[in-house]
């Protein structure tokens, strides 16, 4: 709690467009400042990143799963605002009918979509989030996840590579190839996401790197399916198969009203982000590019991850909403938005 007054003074005195700034009013601050979760989570743990980084978009993280209850007076309005929902309600998990998805390859000609990726986040039911974790717990979670991954077969079969002992060259190559995460996100760093780095961190992937699992990056687990080109159907089906195999062995944190729990409230619910790296130099140059994305509930990112720049007119376009809709609804929302952007680029 020591640094909370400093964090509050900094947040109060700096201009920011973050959801933290918008919703952490004096009244909310006064109500929550002395609260603590059974994991030792504090309001400072929740607001540290956004207070220290005024340029944050969201700015707030949950100290631990219980933080979504203890600090609900701050987190709930942030959740409703980010996911554009009017009540804290999330549907049962519904991946849709794999035999009848209603979409396939979004760019059969291969002219525009460089690659397609769909990911979800999962949290082990009995562990905290970065600010309330210690090194032993991070390593315990790594071992639990690794054991589950080693049981995967067929196309999903692969190998787990701990970051501890991985050469810098290998890390750089995997990161440059968009497969691996690094410790360069200043927002996540401020939130405690890299504490004890690189202990407990690692990556699993199958032989052709189309099915990957990140361990203890921002979330306890990120389950990822990706491949070159625009075949969203193949990528999604592989992801769902991987999720279903892993949920046979692991217990994931989930609340009826919030869906699957994640460190950042922007990832709650389905936790699903479906993205294409797509060449859209004309649409991206339009003054109304942001408006087009907002209209379709899309988010544009650079190609090396959040808070990075596009390169050569290639953007990471993905669904923005993850909660208050089902998995199949989220991926259909992305699919419709990407199809609209492709139409606009071709007609520009
Ligand atoms: P997330 O929150 O889904 O992990 P980030 O924006 O942090 O997404 O990106 C994580 C990594 O995934 C980055 O290296 C990024 O380049 C890569 N990535 C995201 N979408 C795609 C895609 N469609 N094709 C290839 N790589 C991608
Ligand atoms: N960087 C923080 C988090 C935004 C959502 N992205 C996550 N969780 N990776 C921000 O407030 O901008």
3-state secondary structure 314-346: EEEEEECCCCCCCHHHHHHHHHHHHHHHHHHHH
**Nearest ligand, measured from the Cα of 306:** 1
Q: How many structural domains are present in the chain?
A: 1
Whether residue 330 is contained in a domain is answered as no
Is the backbone of residue 102 left (phi > 0), alpha (psi -120 to 50) or beta? left
CA distance 227 to 208: 9
Whether residue 166 is contained in a domain is answered as no
Task: Find out whether 326 and 289 touch, Cβ atoms under 8 Å.
Answer: no
Q: Are strands 314-319 and 298-301 parallel, antiparallel or unpaired?
A: antiparallel
Whether residue 40 is contained in a domain is answered as yes
Pocket test for ligand 1, best of 177, 178, 267 (most atoms within 8 A of CB): 178
Q: What is the pLDDT of residue 17?
A: 97
Per-residue confidence of the chain (348 residues) as pLDDT tens digits? Answer: 459 999 999 999 999 999 999 999 999 999 999 999 999 999 999 999 999 999 999 999 999 999 999 999 999 999 999 999 999 999 999 999 999 999 999 999 999 999 999 999 999 999 999 999 999 999 999 999 999 999 999 999 999 999 999 999 999 999 999 899 999 999 999 999 999 999 999 999 999 999 999 999 999 999 999 999 999 999 999 999 999 999 999 999 999 999 999 999 999 999 999 999 999 999 999 999 999 999 999 999 999 888 888 888 999 999 999 999 999 999 999 999 999 999 999 999
> Which atom of ligand 1 is least distant from the CA of 306?
6
Contacts of 208 (CB under 8 A, 6+ apart): none
Interval between CA 120 and ligand 1 midpoint (Å)? 12
Residue 154's closest CA among 207, 102, 218, 192? 207
Q: Which domain holds residue 11?
A: 4-83
Is the backbone of residue 331 left (phi > 0), alpha (psi -120 to 50) or beta? alpha
- Over the Cα atoms of the chain, what is R_g? 20
CA distance 296 to 298: 5
Q: What is the pLDDT of residue 167?
A: 94
Question: Whole-model pTM above 0.85?
Answer: yes
Give residue ranges with CB within 6 A of ligand 1. 115-117, 119, 178, 226, 273, 275-277, 301, 303-306, 316
Q: What is the pLDDT of residue 2?
A: 54
Whether residue 32 is contained in a domain is answered as yes
**Nearest ligand, measured from the Cα of 218:** 2
> Which atom of ligand 2 is least distant from the CA of 185?
1
Q: What is the CATH number of the domain that holds 17?
A: 1.10.135.10
CA distance 294 to 300: 10
Grouping H, G, I as helix, E, B as strand and the rest as coil, residue 263 is coil
Q: What is the DSSP letter of 251?
A: P
Q: What is the pLDDT of residue 236?
A: 98
Pocket test for ligand 2, best of 59, 188, 267, 306 (most atoms within 8 A of CB): 306
Q: What is the pLDDT of residue 316?
A: 97
H/E segment holding residue 109: none
C-beta atoms surrounding 318 within 10 Å? 24
Grouping H, G, I as helix, E, B as strand and the rest as coil, residue 105 is strand
Whether residue 11 is contained in a domain is answered as yes
> Residue 70 has which token pair?
């203890």
Whether residue 70 is contained in a domain is answered as yes
Q: What is the pLDDT of residue 311?
A: 85
In this structure, the residue with its CA closest to atom 8 of ligand 2 is: 264
Whether residue 16 is contained in a domain is answered as yes
For Cα atoms 239, 245, 247, give the angle at the middle one, nearest 5 degrees: 100
Please state, in angstroms and as integers, the Cα–Cα distance from residue 208 to each residue in 107, 228, 263, following that order: 21, 11, 29
Please state, in angstroms and as integers, the Cα–Cα distance from residue 183 to each residue in 122, 174, 197, 225, 242, following that order: 19, 13, 8, 21, 26
In this structure, the residue with its CA closest to atom 12 of ligand 1 is: 178
Interval between CA 296 and ligand 2 midpoint (Å)? 20
Q: What is the pLDDT of residue 52?
A: 97
Give residue ranges with CB within 6 A of ligand 2. 18, 50, 56-59, 187, 218, 264, 266-267, 306
> Residue 218 has which token pair?
């921002």
CA distance 341 to 300: 11
Pocket test for ligand 1, best of 176, 188, 275, 337 (most atoms within 8 A of CB): 275
DSSP string covering 10-56, please?
A: HHHHS---SHHHHH--HHHHHHHTT-B-TT--BHHHHHHHHHH-TT-
Whether residue 71 is contained in a domain is answered as yes
Pocket test for ligand 2, best of 20, 50, 58 (most atoms within 8 A of CB): 58
């Amino acid at each position: 709690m020591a640094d909370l007054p400093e964090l509050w003074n900094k947040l109060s005195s700096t201009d920011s467009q973050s959801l933290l700034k918008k919703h952490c009013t004096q009244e909310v601050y006064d109500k929550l400042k002395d609260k603590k979760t059974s994991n030792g989570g504090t309001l400072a743990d929740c607001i540290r990143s956004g207070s220290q980084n005024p340029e944050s978009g969201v700015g707030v993280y949950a100290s631990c799963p219980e933080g979504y209850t203890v600090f609900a007076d701050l987190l709930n309005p942030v959740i409703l605002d980010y996911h554009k929902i009017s009540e804290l309600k999330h549907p049962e998990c519904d991946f849709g009918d794999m035999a009848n998805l209603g979409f396939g390859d979004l760019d059969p000609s291969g002219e525009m979509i460089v690659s397609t990726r769909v990911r979800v986040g999962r949290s082990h039911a009995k562990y905290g989030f970065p600010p309330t974790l210690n090194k032993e717990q991070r390593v315990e979670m790594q071992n639990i996840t690794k054991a589950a991954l080693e049981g995967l077969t067929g196309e999903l079969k692969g190998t787990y590579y701990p970051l501890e002992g991985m050469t810098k060259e290998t890390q750089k190559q995997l990161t440059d190839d968009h497969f691996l995460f690094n410790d360069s996100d200043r927002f996540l760093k401020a939130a405690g996401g890299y504490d004890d780095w690189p202990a407990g961190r690692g990556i699993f992937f199958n032989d052709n790197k189309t099915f990957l699992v990140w361990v203890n990056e921002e979330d306890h687990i990120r389950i990822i399916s990706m491949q070159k080109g625009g075949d969203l159907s193949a990528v999604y089906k592989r992801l769902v198969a991987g999720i279903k195999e892993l949920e046979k062995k692991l217990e994931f944190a989930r609340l009826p009203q919030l869906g699957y729990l994640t460190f950042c409230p922007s990832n709650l619910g389905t936790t699903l982000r479906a993205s294409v790296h797509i060449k859209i130099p004309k649409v991206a140059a339009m003054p109304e590019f942001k408006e087009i994305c907002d209209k379709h509930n899309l988010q544009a990112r650079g190609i090396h991850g959040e808070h990075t720049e596009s390169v050569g007119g290639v953007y990471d376009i993905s669904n923005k909403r993850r909660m208050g809709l089902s998995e199949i609804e989220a991926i259909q929302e992305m699919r419709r938005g990407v199809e609209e952007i492709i139409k606009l680029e071709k007609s520009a």
